[in-house]
């Protein structure tokens, strides 16, 4: 009997363990624990912030029926609590939107930020606020929706020829985001007095003054979430291959479109309510998947919970740092600052599909007389220099300066023109060297994050030293450019330096830098505002000394360039061929990378981190038939100088007496060029 009892007890324990394993086997335990940890941290910060504002005995009263004569209770009821609820709503909405986008596009990196939807919605609101405020009377959500869908259409147009592969979609989305950001920066520079507050709001400000935003957002987000909830089964089937889904009778096009509409609507509602909240959608959806939420139904629950907890914790941490009623640091910028490194961390670890060892080279013409081509570009540059120095608008219309009238004009025109010229030349040479080094015709300092690294180094010098001169800034920018380049190459190493993977890493680095700029600019520090003006690529502040110093650096670097031409001719042939010629591949690559970093740093100090000259000029030289390294380098240098001088002249004259920074003009020209190249390849 005792033995039977022991046997029964043992079977009971085994059955109990088996039941428990069955109960928790398919549960996203790690995701639940993560959500609990985030919620606990957020709750602790919330209690701390509430304690600073109000005694605990008055918390319940301030929530239900605040005493209007007690300003502390009023602030808690109409500012602190609505902000808390909005953070939960926005985090949940973005987490849900990211999960749906990843499922519909079958893309583990898809999110409102990485496919350009957030940037498109924000740009549409900025344009409407400036050019057609009457449109906002119909509801800002419709304006945001229109911008989001236009951005999504642009992303699809750029990646459709590659079958909407995950990597092509994300790369196209990040490029669209960068270009939309450049247009937004141009608007802020041109209409700073009207759009300065919109800039801070667009960085993701959750500050509230009443319950209006909460009541506006809740039904809209709820309706979109309910729509998604009704489509769980067909959305689950969309995760299968197309043939398998069709065999089950699923109308793929209908449900894919409906899922996209619901996800984009959620994103547009959040942007219309509080601005751009960076990377919460990507982080929440990814953490839910990593945390064990394998089935779509689980992810649709866990991702919103993680997103809500994450944004709640981030916002409360911001309030701990700046004060409960302070909004010095927009929460959206902080989340973007945390989310961009997450994207960089995920890149080497995810199989994204559609990667090739190198981009297929186009069959382009090859000229037998490169000297004539170079002479033609040189003459065009000389004519443009004369136009930029002598001709321009004035109080009495357009004038051409001669004699005594020319001297005062040259004193402020020549430093700007010369700075634009040498910056364009250096960026063009850096782009050419990058393209030949990597065998990637879409590589450039701007696209691969090198310019952003240079700008980051300069920013560190500006905030670390009380009086950082031009030499200190140049040295810091060189270190930053080289560091960014090493990070990009380290990320691409696991994928055998696949061109698209390198480009995606570079664009993610640029997004990280942009987030940091948003944080610093939102603080109101005067140095940050000067930094914002410099980032747009304005040559307005270049004086004679700065122009001479930059010109001297450019002359030294350009004179060193011919030493690299033999290497640049053979590097595209591959490591084996280079080693067969007796060339040390590692040493050669390191020297080329150092040269690229120095060129990028010196030019970025003049025209900002995003001009796309390094991408455009080498392509222009190649399409003119300049195939060998030396003639192509000379043609790219001349073309880059020509483009930047032209951009500076257009910026000075297009809306005189106001000015458009030369870097922004070049960006607005170069962005479509990059999109066109993406579309062709």
Most confident region among 27-31, 273-277, 354-358, 397-401 by mean pLDDT: 273-277
Q: Please state, in angstroms and rounded to a whole number, the distance separating the CA atoms of residues 276 and 181.
A: 11
Residue 334: left if φ>0, alpha if ψ -120 to 50, beta else—which one?
alpha
**Confidence band of 398 (pLDDT split at 50, 70, 90):** confident
User: Is there a contact between 331 and 590 (Cβ–Cβ < 8 Å)?
Assistant: no
* Residue 438 backbone phi and psi in degrees, to 5: -90, -10
More confident residue, 468 or 133: 133
CA angle 392, 420, 677 (to 5 degrees): 105
Mean pLDDT of the chain: 79
Specify the range with the lowest mean pLDDT, choosing from 4-18, 92-106, 499-513, 573-587: 4-18
Locus of tokens 């010196």 = 602
Q: What percent of the chain has pLDDT over 90?
A: 15
**Confidence band of 312 (pLDDT split at 50, 70, 90):** very high
Question: 406-445 as b/e, with b when 16 or more CB fall inside 10 Å?
Answer: eeebeeebbbbbbbbbbbbbbbbbbbbbbbbbbbbbbbbb
Quickly count: other Cβ atoms within 10 Å of residue 457's Cβ. Answer: 25
**Whether residue 166 has pLDDT greater than 70:** no
pLDDT of residue 88: 95
**Residue 314 is encoded by which pair of tokens?**
């981030």
User: What digits encode the pLDDT tens for the residues 412-450?
Assistant: 788 888 988 999 999 999 999 988 887 777 777 877 777
Locus of tokens 């490591």 = 575
pTM, 2 dp = 0.74
**Confidence band of 2 (pLDDT split at 50, 70, 90):** very low
**Confidence band of 158 (pLDDT split at 50, 70, 90):** confident
**Confidence band of 375 (pLDDT split at 50, 70, 90):** very high
More confident residue, 246 or 351: 246
Specify the range with the lowest mean pLDDT, choosing from 18-27, 308-317, 464-473: 18-27
**Whether residue 214 has pLDDT greater than 60:** yes
CA R_g for the chain: 28
**Whether residue 614 has pLDDT greater than 50:** yes
- Interval 306-328 mean pLDDT: 82
Q: Please state, in angstroms and rounded to a whole number, the distance separating the CA atoms of residues 90 and 97.
A: 10
Name, in order, each residue with C-beta under 8 angstroms of 26's C-beta and a sequence gap of 6 or more: 294, 295
- Interval 575-588 mean pLDDT: 76
pLDDT of residue 332: 78
pLDDT of residue 328: 62
Quickly count: other Cβ atoms within 10 Å of residue 404's Cβ. Answer: 7
More confident residue, 678 or 211: 211
Tell me how long the chain is. 681
- Interval 628-632 mean pLDDT: 88
Q: Please state, in angstroms and rounded to a whole number, the distance separating the CA atoms of residues 144 and 150.
A: 10
More confident residue, 543 or 188: 543
More confident residue, 529 or 653: 653
User: What digits encode the pLDDT tens for the residues 559-572?
Assistant: 999 998 888 888 77
pLDDT of residue 524: 63
**Whether residue 306 has pLDDT greater than 60:** yes
Rounded-to-10 torsion of CA 23, 29, 32, 33: 130
**Confidence band of 167 (pLDDT split at 50, 70, 90):** low
pLDDT of residue 246: 63
pLDDT of residue 307: 92
Specify the range with the lowest mean pLDDT, choosing from 128-142, 221-235, 279-293, 358-372: 358-372
pLDDT of residue 356: 38
Most confident region among 160-174, 210-224, 351-365, 491-505 by mean pLDDT: 210-224
Q: Please state, in angstroms and rounded to a whole number, the distance separating the CA atoms of residues 385 and 388.
A: 5
**Whether residue 68 has pLDDT greater than 70:** yes
- Interval 189-201 mean pLDDT: 63
pLDDT of residue 543: 78
pLDDT of residue 202: 66
**Confidence band of 641 (pLDDT split at 50, 70, 90):** very high
Q: What percent of the chain has pLDDT over 70?
A: 79
Q: Please state, in angstroms and rounded to a whole number, the distance separating the CA atoms of residues 204 and 279.
A: 11
**Whether residue 461 has pLDDT greater than 80:** yes
pLDDT of residue 358: 39
Q: Report DSSP state, residue 78.
A: I
**Whether residue 14 has pLDDT greater than 50:** no
**Confidence band of 534 (pLDDT split at 50, 70, 90):** low
The 3-state DSSP class for residue 46 equals helix
Specify the range with the lowest mean pLDDT, choosing from 12-16, 270-274, 387-391, 412-416: 12-16
pLDDT of residue 295: 87
Domains defined for the chain, CATH in brackets: 45-346 (1.10.3470.10), 370-386+411-680 (1.10.3470.10)
* Residue 23 backbone phi and psi in degrees, to 5: -70, -40
**Residue 289 is encoded by which pair of tokens?**
């998947």
**Whether residue 67 has pLDDT greater than 80:** yes
631, 551, 673, 612: which is closest to 427 by C-alpha? 612
pLDDT of residue 201: 64
Q: Please state, in angstroms and rounded to a whole number, the distance separating the CA atoms of residues 264 and 74.
A: 35
**Residue 541 is encoded by which pair of tokens?**
């502040």
Question: Strands 391-394 and 397-400: what pairing?
Answer: antiparallel
- Interval 89-111 mean pLDDT: 88
pLDDT of residue 224: 93
pLDDT of residue 680: 64
């Amino acid at each position: 009997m005792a033995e039977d009892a022991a046997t029964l007890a043992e079977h009971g324990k085994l059955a109990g363990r088996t039941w428990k394993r069955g109960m928790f086997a398919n549960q996203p335990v790690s995701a639940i624990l993560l959500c609990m940890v985030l919620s606990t941290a957020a709750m602790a910060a919330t209690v701390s912030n509430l304690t600073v504002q109000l005694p605990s005995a008055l918390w319940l009263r301030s929530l239900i029926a605040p005493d209007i004569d007690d300003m502390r209770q009023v602030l808690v009821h109409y500012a602190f609590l609505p902000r808390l609820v909005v953070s939960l709503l926005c985090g949940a909405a973005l987490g849900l939107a990211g999960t749906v986008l990843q499922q519909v596009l079958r893309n583990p990196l898809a999110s409102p930020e990485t496919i350009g939807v957030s940037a498109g919605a924000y740009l549409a609101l900025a344009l409407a606020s400036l050019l057609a405020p009457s449109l906002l009377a119909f509801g800002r959500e419709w304006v945001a929706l229109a911008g989001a869908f236009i951005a999504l259409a642009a992303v699809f147009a750029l990646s459709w020829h590659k079958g909407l592969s995950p990597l092509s979609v994300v790369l196209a989305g990040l490029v669209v985001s960068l270009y939309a950001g450049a247009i937004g920066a141009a608007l802020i520079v041109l209409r700073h007095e009207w759009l300065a507050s919109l800039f801070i709001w667009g960085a993701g400000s959750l500050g509230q003054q009443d319950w209006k935003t909460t009541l506006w957002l809740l039904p809209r987000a709820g309706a979109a979430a309910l729509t998604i909830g009704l489509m769980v089964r067909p959305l689950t089937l969309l995760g299968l291959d197309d043939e398998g889904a069709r065999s089950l009778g699923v109308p793929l096009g209908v449900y894919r479109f409906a899922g996209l509409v619901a996800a984009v609507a959620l994103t547009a509602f959040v942007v219309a309510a509080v601005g751009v909240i960076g990377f919460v959608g990507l982080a929440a959806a990814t953490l839910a998947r990593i945390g064990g939420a394998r089935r779509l139904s689980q992810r649709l629950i866990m991702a919103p919970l993680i997103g809500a907890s994450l944004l709640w914790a981030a916002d409360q941490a911001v309030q701990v740092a700046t004060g409960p009623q302070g909004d010095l640091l927009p929460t959206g910028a902080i989340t973007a600052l945390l989310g961009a490194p997450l994207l960089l961390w995920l890149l080497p670890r995810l199989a994204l599909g559609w990667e090739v060892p190198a981009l297929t080279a186009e069959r382009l013409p090859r000229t037998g007389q490169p000297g004539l081509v170079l002479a033609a570009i040189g003459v065009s540059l000389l004519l443009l220099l004369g136009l930029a120095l002598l001709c321009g608008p004035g109080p009495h219309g357009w004038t051409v300066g001669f004699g005594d009238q020319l001297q005062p004009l040259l004193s402020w025109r020549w430093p700007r023109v010369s700075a634009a010229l040498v910056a364009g030349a250096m960026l063009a040479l850096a782009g050419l060297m990058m393209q030949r080094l990597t065998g990637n015709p879409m590589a450039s300092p701007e696209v691969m994050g090198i310019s952003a690294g240079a700008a980051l180094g300069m920013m560190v010098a500006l905030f670390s030293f009380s009086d950082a001169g031009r030499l200190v800034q140049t040295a810091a920018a060189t270190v930053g450019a080289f560091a960014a380049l090493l990070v990009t190459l380290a990320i691409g190493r696991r994928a055998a330096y696949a061109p698209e993977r390198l480009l995606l890493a570079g664009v993610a680095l640029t997004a990280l830098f942009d987030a940091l700029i948003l944080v610093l600019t939102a603080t109101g520090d005067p140095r940050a505002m000067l930094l914002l003006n410099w980032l747009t690529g304005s040559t307005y502040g270049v004086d004679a000394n700065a122009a001479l110093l930059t010109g001297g650096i450019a002359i030294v670097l350009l004179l060193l360039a011919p030493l690299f031409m033999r290497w640049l001719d053979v590097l595209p042939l591959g490591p084996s061929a280079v080693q067969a010629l007796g060339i040390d591949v590692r040493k050669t690559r390191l020297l080329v990378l150092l040269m690229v970093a120095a060129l990028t740093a010196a030019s970025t100090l003049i025209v900002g981190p995003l001009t796309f000259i390094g991408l455009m000029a080498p392509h222009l030289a190649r399409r003119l038939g300049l195939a060998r390294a030396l003639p192509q380098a000379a043609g790219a240098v001349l073309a880059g100088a020509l483009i930047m001088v032209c951009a500076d002249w257009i910026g000075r004259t297009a809306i005189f007496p106001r000015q458009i920074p030369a870097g922004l003009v070049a960006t607005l020209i170069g962005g479509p060029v990059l999109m066109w190249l993406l579309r062709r390849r």
